[in-house]
Structure 1
Amino acid sequence: MKKLLLVLGVCGFIYACGSNSSTENKSSDAAENKTPAATENPSNDPNRGIGKFTKVDVGATLDATMAEAGNKVYDVKCASCHKLSEEKLVGPGWKDVTKRRTAEWIMNFATNTDEMLSKDPEAMAQLEICLVRMPNQGLTDDDARHIYEFMRKNDGVK
Structure 2
Amino acid sequence: MKKRIFLPFLLAAASLAACVDNKPSQKEPLDTQALTQNQPETHGTEIKAADVQLTTPLKSEWVASGKGVYELKCMACHRLTGEKLVGPGWKGVTERRKPEWIMNMITNVDMMLEKDPEAQKMLEECLVRMPNQNLSTDEARQVLEFMRSNDGAK
When the two structures are superposed, what TM-score results if normalisation uses the length of structure 1? 0.70
What per-residue deviation string (whole Å, max 9, x for no partner) do you get for residues 38-82 of structure 1? xx4xxxxxxxxxx13332110232111101000000000000000
Q: Which residue of structure 2 aligns with residue 95 of structure 1?
A: 91
Contact preservation (8 Å) 2:103, 2:144: yes
1:152 and 1:23 map into 2 onto residues whose CA distance is 33
In the alignment of these two chains, the number of paired residues is 118
**Pair 1:132 & 2:146 matched:** no
Q: Which residue of structure 1 aligns with residue 8 of structure 2?
A: none
Q: Which residue of structure 2 aligns with residue 18 of structure 1?
A: none
**Pair 1:155 & 2:115 matched:** no
2:129 and 2:73 map into 1 onto residues whose CA distance is 15
SS at match of 2:49: coil
2:149 and 2:53 map into 1 onto residues whose CA distance is 16
1:119 Cα offset (Å):
1.6
Contact preservation (8 Å) 2:47, 2:103: no
1:25 Cα offset (Å):
3.0
Q: Which residue of structure 2 aligns with residue 26 of structure 1?
A: 40
Larger radius of gyration: 2
Q: Which residue of structure 2 aligns with residue 52 of structure 1?
A: 47
Contact preservation (8 Å) 1:63, 1:149: yes
Q: Which residue of structure 2 aligns with residue 7 of structure 1?
A: none
When the two structures are superposed, what TM-score results if normalisation uses the length of structure 2? 0.71
Contact preservation (8 Å) 2:66, 2:142: yes
Contact preservation (8 Å) 1:53, 1:107: no
Moved beyond 6 Å, runs of 4+: none
What per-residue deviation string (whole Å, max 9, x for no partner) do you get for residues 115-157 of structure 1? 1112210100001110111001111111100000000000001
Which consecutive residues of structure 2, in runs of 5 or more, have no partner in the other structure? 1-34
Correspondence list, 1:66-105, <5 A: 66-105=62-101
SS at match of 2:76: coil
Contact preservation (8 Å) 1:98, 1:152: yes
Say what the alpha-carbon RMSD is for the aligned residues: 1.8
Which consecutive residues of structure 1, in runs of 5 or more, have no partner in the other structure? 1-20, 31-39, 41-50
What per-residue deviation string (whole Å, max 9, x for no partner) do you get for residues 70-126 of structure 1? 000000000000000000000000001000111101001100011111221010000
Identity of aligned residues (%): 51
Worse-matched range after superposition: 84-93 or 115-124 = 115-124
